[in-house]
Chain A
């Protein structure tokens, strides 16, 4: 839709009238549902094949440390592994619950395209949905409380990403805490504090993307002796909770709330629980991604975090504007930045904003896993013309080897 409307002409595609192009959200949701259904049916068939797993549908609640009630049925279990995930944080904005809002969950199941949407929150959920709906054709206002989008990422990533979102027509406001929500006729109004003034924004739909907390409602965790603090289940490095027979994994424990982290936690906690092992989690190298376009991907420390931790750092950076493949596909926004120890050369982190950043980050992830330097990335032969050359160029720019621009 976005590409056809905005870029067909640039790529030499003729006969497309951008004004005649329309988007059928219901059809896109049907397609998405079909993909999800296929994945789910694969999961069920794998479960059925595993004779040691009995599957129960329903809400679980501890009634003692070893008894769990599911749909009125009582199960007795020696040990429990909590994989309960997270949900949108309880809304603390006056009037918002009364006015009505959706979360990321409903935002994937809308059957019609809203003409306008206010997104509260400029973290990864806010960014992804803002761009998605803006590209579908919804007029989007985005209100972030922090002084920049994606406040936990590299400052330059935040700045360039904000420019991209602005350029696509998203009304993005940062340092814009929301004060209250109101009804106004058929519309919904959100009042935010911007630059010392109250600003009113009106839209058809409000999407609340303001943080996620452990989904522990009515689980009876107190019955099991599992402590929850600041909305997160408390675990030790072996993923054991404050109850000696209960382990917990993934989003519900806080930290990096990503599927790939939960998938890492799961088998490790199961080994500890079933075999009585004492395997510790190692979150030193957990990559993250935001599926915007250009995408954001990062791993490890930002330059600022590394300096604040007392390290002397050196940084290598390369722009996609100087990468042949990025030019060819017309996606030259962004950069690769690698942060390393000035003395040993060990990589502290990498930050990529650009096309396919979510793929490109992995060669740095692999290097960091082994406490490596950027040298193998800088010296190994990379295929030309690929976006991966930008990672190699950033590695070379760290300083050990002189940067020689070729093939561009």
Chain B
């Protein structure tokens, strides 16, 4: 079982900058996307 500080569900144009910001603040991030990154 993997442990994370924060999970970001959705790798669209909102989830991506959120994941990068969280990661850059030092958090261990799980980014989960069901289709394709970038959003539709």
A interface residues with partner B (beta carbon < 8 Å) = 36, 39-40, 43-44, 46-47, 50-60, 68, 70, 73-85, 105, 219, 249-251, 259, 262-263, 265-267, 269-271, 273-275
Residue of A nearest to B6 (CB): A79
For residue B5, which residue of chain A has the nearest CB?
A78
Evaluate contact between A77 and B5: CB separation under 8 angstroms. Answer: yes
Q: Which residues of A contact B20 (CB under 8 A)?
A: 46, 50, 53, 267
- Interface residue total, chain B, C-beta cutoff 8 A: 39
Q: CB within 8 A of A84: which of B3, B6, B9, B28? A: B9
Q: Is the CB of A271 within 8 A of B25?
A: yes
Bound form: Cα–Cα A87–B38 in Å: 15
**Cβ-defined contact, A81 with B38, below 8 A:** no
Please tell me if the beta carbons of B31 and A54 are within 8 angstroms of each other in the complex.
Answer: yes
Task: Please give the distance in Å from B10's CB to the nearest CB on chain A.
Answer: 4
Besides A78-B5, A266-B21, 7 other CB < 8 A contacts? A53-B29, A58-B34, A76-B4, A77-B6, A262-B12, A270-B18, A270-B19
Q: List 13 A-B contacts (CB under 8 A).
A: A47-B19, A53-B20, A57-B34, A76-B1, A79-B7, A81-B9, A249-B14, A259-B12, A266-B14, A266-B15, A266-B21, A270-B18, A274-B27
Option from A55, A68, A249 in Cβ contact (under 8 Å) with B33: A55
**B-side interface residues toward A, CB under 8 Å?**
1-34, 36-40
Please state if B1 and A74 are interface contacts (CB–CB under 8 Å). Answer: yes
CA distance A59 to B17 in the complex (A): 20
Q: How far is the CA of A105 from the CA of B36 in the complex (A)?
A: 13
Contact B16 A43 (CB under 8 A): yes
Cβ contact within 8 Å between B32 and A58: yes
Residue from B2, B26, B32, B39 with most neighbouring chain A CB atoms (10 Å)? B32
Task: Name the B residues within 8 Å of A52 (CB-CB).
Answer: 22-24, 26-29
Q: Chain B: which residue is nearest A80 at the CB level?
A: B7
Contact A263 B17 (CB under 8 A): yes
Given A266-B14, A270-B18, CB of A219 within 8 Å of CB of B9: yes
Beta-carbon contact of A77 and B4 below 8 Å? yes
Contact A83 B29 (CB under 8 A): no
